[in-house]
């Protein structure tokens, strides 16, 4: 059967479109998938940092900036492009840390930014323009202990200013037979151990509210008989 010339041209055109159409469709689909995954540096809604997460991150940075380093703390020290110097260190009982190239550095009673400045100055003699980051890996220097007739006795991290009531609440509260009017806080003093009495019943009844002004210190022991 002999087809008209215009019909042959039309069929060739259809065949040409079929050859081009599918590869083009695949290419467009591929590019769209790359776009959705953010390959080109464009972030979709799923990649965005939520306001809640951003606030939490900022809050953590603000809290640790004022943190006073103590003996026993674990710190992570990063020196940009210096993996042999970067490391996790423990603050020794004498309050110092050890690092390559430099002598022991006093860390105890420094804030994280202050220690960063000390390390940066010490490394400047060996590293060109050192960029140092200091982070609190683990708080081990500020602990309190709640023992006795309490729901969850044990060791607790003292992360911020904490009253006796707050510590007891964190430890789950009293057990049924706890003597709430005979609580004692044992504290290390320069002249030896101090014994501070705490009467929960008088506090909650409003007879001795001043007791709640007492802030706990590292190594305090709350004894609930």
Residue 58, domain member (yes or no): no
Higher-confidence residue: 58 or 150?
Answer: 150
Residue closest to 187 by CA, chosen among 223, 151, 133, 141:
223
Residue 90, domain member (yes or no): yes
Residue 6, domain member (yes or no): no
Q: Do 197 and 154 fall into the same domain? A: yes
Q: Do 117 and 164 fall into the same domain? A: no
Q: Do 197 and 217 fall into the same domain? A: yes
| Domain coverage including residue 79 | 67-138
Residue 99, domain member (yes or no): yes
- What CATH number should be reported for the domain holding residue 191? 3.10.560.10
Task: Report the domain count for the chain.
Answer: 2
Q: Do 147 and 94 fall into the same domain? A: no
Task: Give the separation between CA 108 and CA 102, rounded to whole angstroms.
Answer: 17
- What CATH number should be reported for the domain holding residue 112? 3.30.1950.10
pLDDT on residue 46: 33
CB distance 168 to 146 below 8 Å: yes
Q: What is the chain's mean pLDDT, rounded?
A: 79
Residue 61 pLDDT greater than 90, yes or no: no
Mean pLDDT of 110-120: 96
Last residue within a domain, chosen from 122, 138, 154: 138
Q: Do 134 and 147 fall into the same domain? A: no
Would you give the DSSP letter of residue 160?
Answer: S
Which of 15-19, 133-137, 155-159 shows the lowest mean pLDDT across its residues? 15-19
Residue 209, domain member (yes or no): yes
pLDDT tens-digit map of 177-206:
999 999 999 999 888 899 999 999 999 998
pLDDT on residue 103: 84
pTM above 0.85, yes or no: no
Q: Which contacts (CB < 8 Å, 24+ apart) does range 112-121 have? A: 112/64, 112/65, 112/67, 112/69, 112/75, 112/136, 113/65, 115/69, 115/75, 119/77, 119/79
Residue 149, domain member (yes or no): yes
Q: Do 95 and 125 fall into the same domain? A: yes
pLDDT tens-digit map of 21-51:
445 444 445 444 444 444 333 233 333 323 3
Q: Do 160 and 113 fall into the same domain? A: no
């Amino acid at each position: 059967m002999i087809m008209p010339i215009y019909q042959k041209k039309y069929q060739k055109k259809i065949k040409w479109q079929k050859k081009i159409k599918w590869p083009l469709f695949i290419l467009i689909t591929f590019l769209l998938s790359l776009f959705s995954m953010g390959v080109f540096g464009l972030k979709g809604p799923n990649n965005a940092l939520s306001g809640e997460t951003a606030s939490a991150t900022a809050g953590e940075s603000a809290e640790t900036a004022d943190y006073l380093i103590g003996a026993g703390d674990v710190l992570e020290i990063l020196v940009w492009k210096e993996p042999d110097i970067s490391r996790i260190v423990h603050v020794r009982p004498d309050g110092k840390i050890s690092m390559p190239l430099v002598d022991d550095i006093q860390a105890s009673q420094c804030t994280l930014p202050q220690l960063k400045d000390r390390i940066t100055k010490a490394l400047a003699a060996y590293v060109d323009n050192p960029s140092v980051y200091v982070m609190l890996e683990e708080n081990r220097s500020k602990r309190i202990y709640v023992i006795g007739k309490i729901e969850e006795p044990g060791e607790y991290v003292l992360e911020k200013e904490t009253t006796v009531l707050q510590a007891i609440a964190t430890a789950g509260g009293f057990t049924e037979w706890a003597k709430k009017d005979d609580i004692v806080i044992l504290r290390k003093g320069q002249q030896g151990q101090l014994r501070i009495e705490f009467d929960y019943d008088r506090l909650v009844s409003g007879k001795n509210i001043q007791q709640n002004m007492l802030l706990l210190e590292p190594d305090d022991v709350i004894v609930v008989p």
